[in-house]
Structure 1
Amino acid sequence: MTPKVSETRVPEPEPLIQSVAQAGAVRSTIYPLKPNGRGWAGIAAFWLFLPVAVLVISLGALVPFFIMLGIATLGVCPPVLVLTRTRIRVCRHGLIVDSVPGRSRRFFIPYSTIDSDSAMVHPIPSRGGAYRYKPLTAATRRYPWPGLDRFVLAACPLRPKISVGPPYGQPLNIWGAPYSRHGISFRALHPVFASPWWRARPAVRDHPPRAQWVLGTLRVLLDRPELRPVLVFNDQPVMRWMFGTDRPEDLLREIETAMVASGIAGAAGLAARAMANPYDRPPRDIPDDPQLW
């Protein structure tokens, strides 16, 4: 039976933090995806293998070899730099998460939108703490609640009208690397509203703006009592943010200290509660578990 569409008005949230200056003084800067021993070993092995592979493909000809090697290098370097430069700035009023210069991948997460009781640790070394099965799940299996995949794939995936099947795209709330040993997560302001760049982006291919995409989905999902607690916090649309890291307790403690200093009620004990609340269920269980979303 198709759920009745909610008549509840869900106002488009105002950006609580619109600039780096409004986030306040930086208390600390954390690079959660900085390569560890395994990461540097993998990078070194790749760069040792790449010239050999390119030499074989170029059949030993030096000019094509150097051309192909240069192209391959230009294609590989940006993703590596994104991983190594991803940073979380713990500021006075919120977190700033970005990986490249400029505003296109900069997210502002106000402390007032962080649900401190939702923090969890993900002890999943085999998966690197990245939880990258979310877009794959949306493409291969429908969530039990219609529209939740549209809410989770927050990039407002765009596709030609002639295409069929579920929408595809990139979740904005996942920050992980294959060498990360653990992960942390918590619910906070939905990434579409945490980034002024995404909110200001115009409609493309007849789709509404991303903010309206999310809010239109939210109105339907709020008719599900089991989803309401995980979709809204302090009257703001929220989504679970996930970060891969080798030092989950240190990162959680930095966030807790800043939230307490900012006067956020209930923030004390965030790190201890998260460390005592590990989440390591198999990927097949995730779509049926509102606790995670």
Structure 2
Amino acid sequence: MIKGTIIKGIGGFYYVKTDEKIYECKARGRFRKEKISPLVGDHVHISVNAVSQQGVIEEILDRKTELIRPPVANVDQAVIVFAIQQPDPKLSLLDRFLVLAENEDLDALICFNKIDLGAQSELKRLKELYEQIGYPVIATSTKAQIGIDVLKARLKDQTTVFAGPSGVGKSSLLNSLQPNLALETGEISQKIERGKHTTRHVELLYLDLGGWVLDTPGFSSLQIDFIEKEDLQYLFKEFNACLHDCKFQPCNHVNEPGCAVKRALEEGVIQQSRYDSYLQLLEEIEQARRY
């Protein structure tokens, strides 16, 4: 059998990249019976028909991680990209991405792009804010080629999902990392796209420096209503140091007396913007539970 990685899956067909080539494969029927769906990112063993060159997925190897949104396996980290200007960063949205990454147990790296536009004082403020929490922050510019080598070093030999709102320069960053990346994506699509395969899909792209990037807008849904209300507090890293010091357990950290999170907020240990994001997401989860 041949070992490979599923880089794309559409309409029951899976495209498996091996050391030699990309094979179009079907999955064994037993996976359906066992209620197992092959995922993009799965490491698999396949058998190949010598005449047709069609493959069959015989075995799915153990997964290191498994994301629900987007459905992909074995992702190591999320790079969350926001522009420092044009558009201005919306911190509540950045915090939402971070909560989703924490929920999936992914290492998160924040990338502030377009730093050639200026806003150095804002960059310094945001860099300090998130590094204090424990998130690594990289500042990049594709036009000025700033920070690209630093980002490359973080991607090497990792499987990375890029996330962030539209217009922040994710595609430009990917093309700066590897100029022929967009061309290769097109070539693969021409080779393996079928007429009926028009559904939006998730795809892994191989980096020459070693590693993979997930070609998707990132998390395909920004809904957080699947997160339990009681779990949200643990997805804000800076809350964890004081959660057990609250007077009442459980504590929502809203109006309860003797709340250690509110005390940390007053002391400046927790930043107001982060606490505001927590309240916004908490209300969203509570509203969803009412319907």
TM-score by length of 2: 0.23
Q: Which structure's relative contact order is higher, taking Cα pairs within 8 Å and 6+ residues apart?
A: 1
Name the structure where strand makes up a greater proportion of residues: 2
TM-score of the two chains, using structure 1 as the length reference: 0.23
Tell which structure's C-alpha radius of gyration is larger: 2
